[in-house]
Amino acid sequence: MQTAAAKRPPGQELEYLPQLDPQRMAETLTAFANSGGGTLVLGMDAAGEVQNRHAEEDATDALAAALRLCRPPVRTEWQVQETPNGNAVLVRVERSDELHALADGRILVRRGAENRPLDADEAARMMGTRPGVDFELQEVPGATRDDLEDEVIDTYLERRQRRSPRASVLPKDRLLQQIGALTDEGKPTVSGLLLFGKDPQLFMPHSRAIFVKFSDTQPRGPEGAFGYGRREEFTGPLPRIIDRAWRVIWEEMDKQAVVKGLHRQEQTEYPQSSVREALVNAVAHRDYRLTGRSIEVRMYTDRLEVTSPGGLPAHITLDNIVEEHYSRNPRIVNGLFQWGYIEELGLGVDRMIEDMVNAGHLPPKFEAKSHRFSVILYNTKDPERVVPSWEHTMNERQIKAVEFVQREGTITNREYRELCPHVGAETLRLDLADLVSKGVLLKIGDKRGTRYILK
């Protein structure tokens, strides 16, 4: 590692931090990594004066705190530089093949002696041109073609062909190479093993998922002591993990029968689509580089929490999570899309929120930490939030009619024509008949004495 000469001014590859401020350290580390690399001098100013005589002792904790603010963490090397006035710590950062962001979503680059943030367009361009070391395409040491399960591959190929019937049909292994599941030498990659492996956890133990059910709003078991009522562990390729986890969640969700008209419907504790979306997102977007922690699904009496290792990727933050879309695992995401677990790319969070609100629940809560991301679904309902299913299919005229009945108690054909004077009488008659068939209004009387009330 090169040492920094005292009194050398800050610049493109050199910065001084006399005080150990983790936030400023993180900003400079990511800026160096996203640019050409550089050296950060801790405890010393640009004039060569040591301002923090304890920098050597405090550097480890400060650097660890700074790296927790970087996504993904920046690789560093550091050494102590002795000076006549005391010791300073030199932290060396090489240019990274990955794009690093801060926990607040900012992406910084080094411009002269400053750390400059990129706007969304600049960040997107940089991500698109970054050469990168594609983790999904890395060969899994020790794995061979025999570690992939042909039955799972065949199911994938069948569903892929069904989704794109006009796509050309390639030999099985050639297609696996094309989608990045096999290397050119026929060895399984990370994404290939996760999507199609017989036992991916043999090579990547952290790629499992865990379900735990508690009998309280806190981590307690049936008798009130700390613990759990049910615990399940899911292994295998990612599609099987999703299916097995969903079956257990379905078994444990409260359900009640609701009769609407002549049909009996099952109403679940949480909207099924929102739960599946949270589960699929966790599997698709977790950071598989982080070992030692798995996806966790925790069911409490008042909420369901789905937590995946790895913070939000790149420039995604809690503020722009609905509008912006970026995946750290594009091949896994595309694989699950072809399989049918993802209906439309980029709309999962939007639909999760919409389905929860339409079912009368609070919107999902999102929590983003440096090394984990959680989706929290609450099962409590607010009667004022419940939107009846028929309301989604009413036109503006019908909404006016229902609001009129709510105010006046009843509506006649003549009153409806006065509400909508520019619409034909037959169209308005069909509007009211439609509301009767949906069970919204009840028709009373006949001919000129006909009126409608809320059913």
Domain 14-131 classified CATH 3.30.950.30?
Answer: yes
Where along the chain do the CATH 1.10.10.10 domains lie? Answer: 389-454
1 secondary structure, DSSP code: -
Q: Does pLDDT of 151 surpass 90? A: yes
Between residues 394 and 116, the one the model is more confident about? 116
Pairwise CA distance, residues 357 & 375, whole Å: 15
Q: Does pLDDT of 382 surpass 80? A: no
Whole-number pLDDT of residue 392: 55
Whole-number pLDDT of residue 4: 46
Averaged pLDDT for residues 324-337 = 86
pLDDT band (50, 70, 90) for residue 52: confident
What is the longest distance spanned by two Cα atoms in the chain?
Answer: 105
pLDDT tens by residue, 277-313: 999 999 999 989 888 899 999 999 999 999 999 878 7
pLDDT tens by residue, 188-236: 999 999 999 999 999 999 999 999 999 888 886 556 566 678 899 999 9
CB contact at 8 A, 443 and 450: yes
Torsion sign, CA atoms 238, 243, 249, 251: negative
pLDDT tens by residue, 103-139: 888 889 999 999 999 887 777 677 655 655 578 999 9
Averaged pLDDT for residues 41-45 = 87
Whole-number pLDDT of residue 263: 54
Where along the chain do the CATH 3.30.950.30 domains lie? Answer: 14-131
Whole-number pLDDT of residue 187: 96
pLDDT tens by residue, 171-199: 999 999 999 999 999 999 999 999 999 99
CB contact at 8 A, 335 and 195: yes
pLDDT tens by residue, 14-32: 999 988 899 999 999 999 9
Whole-number pLDDT of residue 302: 93
- Least-confidence region, from 92-96, 97-101, 131-135, 306-310: 131-135
Q: What is the CATH number of domain 389-454?
A: 1.10.10.10
Q: What is the CATH number of domain 205-385?
A: 3.30.565.60
Between residues 48 and 6, the one the model is more confident about? 48
Neighbours of 445 (CB within 10 A): 10
Torsion sign, CA atoms 202, 203, 204, 205: positive
Where along the chain do the CATH 3.30.565.60 domains lie? Answer: 205-385
Whole-number pLDDT of residue 6: 53
pTM (2 decimals)?
0.63
